[in-house]
């Protein structure tokens, strides 16, 4: 299939519509309860204004919350699922949030080149058919000098066992939030490669949620470290974090 075409089919969209309708009941009160949103917001905190796009906004929880923390941001949220966008729009109306939501494909963003000052994408890249194409699209619509903050799963940790068991049993992988229509196997250096090949500069990475092991009939939380207080321990454990944040920018052409 040509890279310029939309790479996700109607059956995948239907599957994601059903998944979002099921997951809406599982949301917590604050996006900062999720390590990926907490990490991204720390990166956004010093920025006072700009046009921001969230790619893979889901049901709009973070975009609506962010609009209240950053009233000078012009925020747009995009998601592949029409059901998710409908739920996000209802949320924005109920909370009187000035956020624009749009249904679209992360691999064929419906925006002109150099449109946004900031692009955020949380836990989306691992669910698209072509991560490299999504990275290129982020680079295309980001303004020169603009910043990106992207998070993904990293399975260079105890989650490898879950992938192995899925393969042995011939079952779809379940990351813990239910089986999604698509789940790519990622390790952090693969994601860095996608972003750099797209022409983006990765200036900083962060990790959190260290799943050391998975054992039958044992709560995974008992074998997990959420955060390290020691800077040395955090640095040593970084490659094994389940959630990775990539922060960087699009270079300015000379």
CA–CA gap between residue 35 and residue 14 (Å, rounded): 28
Q: What is the DSSP letter of 251?
A: P
Tell me the CA distances in angstroms from 143 to 41, 51, 201, one per residue in order: 20, 10, 13
- 229-250 pLDDT, tens digit per residue, is 999 999 999 999 999 999 999 9
pLDDT band for 5, please (50, 70, 90 cuts): very low
**CATH (residue range 10-154+183-208+243-249):** 3.40.50.150
- 61-104 pLDDT, tens digit per residue, is 999 999 999 999 999 999 999 999 999 999 999 999 999 999 99
pLDDT at 27: 64
Domain residues of the chain, as ranges? Answer: 10-154+183-208+243-249
Tokens of 204: 């900083």
pLDDT at 254: 67
pLDDT at 15: 59
pLDDT of 195 strictly over 90: yes
């Amino acid at each position: 299939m040509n890279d310029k075409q939309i790479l996700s089919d109607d059956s995948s969209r239907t599957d994601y519509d059903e998944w979002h309708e099921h997951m809406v009941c599982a949301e917590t009160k604050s996006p900062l309860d999720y390590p990926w949103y907490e990490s991204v917001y720390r990166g956004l905190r010093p920025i006072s204004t700009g046009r921001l796009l969230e790619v893979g906004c889901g049901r709009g929880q973070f975009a609506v919350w962010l609009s209240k923390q950053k009233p000078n941001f012009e925020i747009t949220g995009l998601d592949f699922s029409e059901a998710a966008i409908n739920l996000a729009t209802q949320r924005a109306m109920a909370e009187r949030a000035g956020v624009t939501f749009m249904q679209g494909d992360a691999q064929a963003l419906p925006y002109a080149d150099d449109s946004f000052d900031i692009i955020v994408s949380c836990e989306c890249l691992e669910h698209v058919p072509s991560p490299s194409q999504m990275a290129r699209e982020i680079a295309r619509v980001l303004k020169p000098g603009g910043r990106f903050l992207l998070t993904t799963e990293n399975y260079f940790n105890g989650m490898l066992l879950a992938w192995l068991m899925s393969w042995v049993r011939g079952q779809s992988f379940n990351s813990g939030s239910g089986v999604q229509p698509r789940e790519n196997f990622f390790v952090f250096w693969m994601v860095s490669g996608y972003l750099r090949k797209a022409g983006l500069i990765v200036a900083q990475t962060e990790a959190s949620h260290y799943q050391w092991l998975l054992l039958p009939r044992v709560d995974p939380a008992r074998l997990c470290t959420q955060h390290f207080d020691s800077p040395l321990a955090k640095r040593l454990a970084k490659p094994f974090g389940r959630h990775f944040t990539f922060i960087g920018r699009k270079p300015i052409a000379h």
